[in-house]
Amino acid sequence: MNKIGNIGIFTSGGDSPGMNAAIRAVVKAAKINGIKTTGIIKGYEGMIDGKFVNIDEQAVNNIAHCGGTILRTARSSRFLTVEGRQQALGNIQNEGIDALIAIGGDGTFKGLLAFSEISNLPVIGIPGTIDNDLTGTDFTLGFDTAVNTALESIDKIRDTADAHERIFIVEVMGRDAGYIAINSGIASGAEGVLIPESTADIDRLINMVKRGWKKEHSSLIIIVSEGDETGAAEVAHQLKHIDETFDIRITILGHVQRGGNPSYADRLLGTKMGVIAVKALLNNETNKMAGIVRNQMILTPFENVVKQHTIDKDMFELIELLT
């Protein structure tokens, strides 16, 4: 492998808190090794359109605490085509980039695998998604911050729910996975948690409500993942069917969970993964994702990085015990 002199870095897909911390770490680790860093604006779209910017230490000195991504992000349908990837490769070569680091989810890494069919550039991925649903890492960038953001909102909702003896159904993000719902639900003391990985959770909730929730609770907080097959509106409908006098409110937290300053955990995780990504390139690694498993940094081939839909048995037991 030729000596690396210029690393291209980009963020792709949904943004997540901690991306900027990872960008900062890559730039600093690259500089120590005498390597230039080039930012690619708006991910694969920027590759195709030739949107490149030099990133030095001064540009990243005060970004670790910022949410979002200074490189911006996008999803690209053009990169799905061979023509789009060839256009991107030509621009990268013209820019003198000889290695890539991508921060994103499984779609980002699938794009890099397809890119490797026409390019021999070494590439390393960093998992950036609030859903925490990738194999090859215990935690993804943004998950901890997203859960804490949801938790803060749920705690405030509990105050007004208690004051009015209401049922609040809170929808959190998680189109394909229920990790945000489970963790925020358990930590907030919610009385119900509904996730895509389980079809029995709605029955458990209905049975609990039928037993007479007001005997033990002044209010109910029910957390519903946006990807749950029942959905917040249907949960409200079924509860109203039990008793029309129930005072029910639905709160959808939405994209507030993506924004905000990253937590300590996400800043540290982004920093560690950024440094590991640069080291991996220097060790001639390619087409692998940096991850943390049992507090150890590892590399997982892109073809083995897939969305996981299996909730830990212990977490299911906690839900059944506490909700």
Helix, strand, coil shares, percent, the chain, to 5: 45, 20, 35
Buried/exposed code over 147-174 (b: 16+ C-beta within 10 A; e: otherwise): bbbbbebbeebbeebeeeebbbbbbbbb
Contact predicate 127/144, CB 8 Å: no
CB 141 within 8 A of CB 186: no
| Cα 265 to the center of its chain, rounded Å | 13
- Those residues whose C-beta lies under 8 Å from the C-beta of residue 263, and which sit 6 or more positions away, are 17, 144, 145, 148
Helix (H, G, I), strand (E, B) or coil at 224: strand
**Which position has the token pair 């909102």?**
153
Tell me if residue 131 is catalytic: yes
Residue 65 DSSP class: T
- The active-site residue, picked from 15, 98, 106, 131, is 131
- DSSP assignment of 169-209 equals EEEES-SS--HHHHHHHHHHT-SEEE-TT-SSHHHHHHHHH
Q: How far from 184 is each of 27, 34, 166, 224, 256, CA to CA, in Å?
A: 33, 43, 19, 10, 14
CA dihedral of residues 118, 284, 105, 308 (deg, nearest 10): 110
Active site residues: 131
